[in-house]
Structure 1
Amino acid sequence: MPKRRKVGNLLALAVLSALVQRPMHPYEIATALRAWGKDQDMEIKWGSFYTVIRNLDRHEMIAAVESVREGRRPERTVYRITDAGRAELVDWARELVSTPMPEHPRFRAGLSVLAALHPDEATALLRQRLGLLVDAITADRATLDEHLRAIPRLFLVETEYDLAMREAEAAWLRALLDELTSGTYPGLDTWRAFHETGEMPAELTELAERTSPPD
């Protein structure tokens, strides 16, 4: 089970990862996170950014060191990471790296209701997805190769992971499409008959009744 954290918003993890570099004021932190693509690594809701800053300060994971003013701009508070903040950053990173947790991507949700589509339409849509995925893999591979010439691999490991997951999905899609197009996918005739007759096959009705919760 994941640990209950004093500031559980993943944006807090991103803020701590920025402040471990050097003290910054909130605008600098947000600018750095955007430049580093942290909003692609995790779900970041920028509307909660200043709330997260305040909560990290309240729980003494960051601390104000000075206030600065640039020209006519409002005064800005510069924060540093505290020992408690460093400990939280390391502990959180350990948990995320070591412990698998259920994740619910949108594609999985679509697959869970794939039977709602006629198998021919499902096949065409999956083939469309595969084409887009292959294009993305090609572009991502080129971008990664370019970045590796200038950026240490350690700071691109999450990009490698994304690419590996996309390549695995593409391989799985190719295998699934091969079964669908060759007619070897189990239950394909039953799936097709349901859409072409509008009647639920007896075996699917029986399955639904077996798996329905009791009254």
Structure 2
Amino acid sequence: MAELTPLAISVLALLEEKPMHAYEMYQLLITRKNDRIVKVRPGSLYHTVERLAGQEYVRATGTERAGNRPERTTYEITPAGSDALIRRVERGLENYAYEYPTFPVLLSEAHNLKADDAVLRLRSRVDDLDTLLADVDATLGKATEVDVPEVYLIGGLFMRHQLAAERDWLATTIERIESKDLAWQPREKQ
């Protein structure tokens, strides 16, 4: 079987809570702000549910129509789906895997910019990170206020620490570029 994608993991985890239809899954992911940790679009979510059904990790339990809304099929997780979810979480927690984010590639090529341009753009990213951190802090604060157990927040806490570490590293790098501690030599055009 193919490795479960991040979206498939999220779908199976939602169905561990209770049976639901794909639109409800989408709404929960957005409401819980899980779209910050997994790329979710309605079309990709429906495709993922269909793929999981083909793998017999989920099964349809019924179809209903409310008013003039389209029919909605409710799904539940199967025992095989529960096992697949657990196995994927176990492997993912214990084994490091390169995820190939774009930002390190862009940093590796930042020398193609003039130092003042690079600093300007990095400062803009630091501002974006500060905004994201404030939003994550607000979300985590709201969850804490309504007594969401911390164990359900560890993904968000991890994300917050990653954002803060990136912001702090970038702020230090900006200082090093400006103080000339980090020699900036744009590549010569040939």
TM superposition score normalised by structure 1: 0.75
Aligned ranges 1:146-165 → 2 under 5 Å = 146-150=142-146, 151-165=148-162
Equivalent position to 1:120, from 113, 116, 119: 116
**Which runs of 5 or more residues in structure 1 are unaligned?**
201-215
Distance 1:85 1:92 in 2: 10
Q: 1:74 to 1:149 in 2, by over 3 A?
A: closer
Contact kept? 2:65, 2:72, Cα under 8 Å: yes
Structure number with higher relative contact order (C-alpha < 8 Å, ≥ 6 residues apart):
2
Q: 1:73 to 1:137 in 2, by over 3 A?
A: closer
Residue 87 of structure 1: aligned partner: 83
The answer as to 2:19 corresponding to 1:23 is: yes
Residue 76 of structure 1: aligned partner: 72
Contact kept? 1:12, 1:56, Cα under 8 Å: yes
Give a deviation string over 1:4-63, Cα, whole Å, max 9, x none: x44644322221111111122333233323322232221224323333222222221112
Aligned ranges 1:187-198 → 2 under 5 Å = 187-188=183-184, 191=185
The structure with the largest alpha-carbon Rg is 1
Offset at 1:75?
Answer: 4.1
Contact kept? 2:26, 2:40, Cα under 8 Å: no
Distance 1:55 1:98 in 2: 26
Contact kept? 1:10, 1:44, Cα under 8 Å: no
Aligned ranges 1:1-215 → 2 under 5 Å = 5-6=1-2, 8-150=4-146, 151-185=148-182, 187-188=183-184, 191=185
Offset at 1:68?
Answer: 2.9
Q: 1:30 to 1:146 in 2, by over 3 A?
A: closer
Contact kept? 2:56, 2:81, Cα under 8 Å: yes
TM superposition score normalised by structure 2: 0.84
Contact kept? 2:63, 2:74, Cα under 8 Å: yes
What is the SS of the residue equivalent to 2:20? Answer: coil
What is the SS of the residue equivalent to 1:20? Answer: helix
Q: 1:67 to 1:137 in 2, by over 3 A?
A: closer
Offset at 1:111?
Answer: 0.7
**Which runs of 5 or more residues in structure 2 are unaligned?**
none
Comparing 70-79 with 156-165, greater Cα deviation is found at: 70-79
Query: CA-atom RMSD, angstroms?
Result: 2.4
What is the SS of the residue equivalent to 1:65? Answer: strand
Comparing 115-124 with 74-83, greater Cα deviation is found at: 74-83
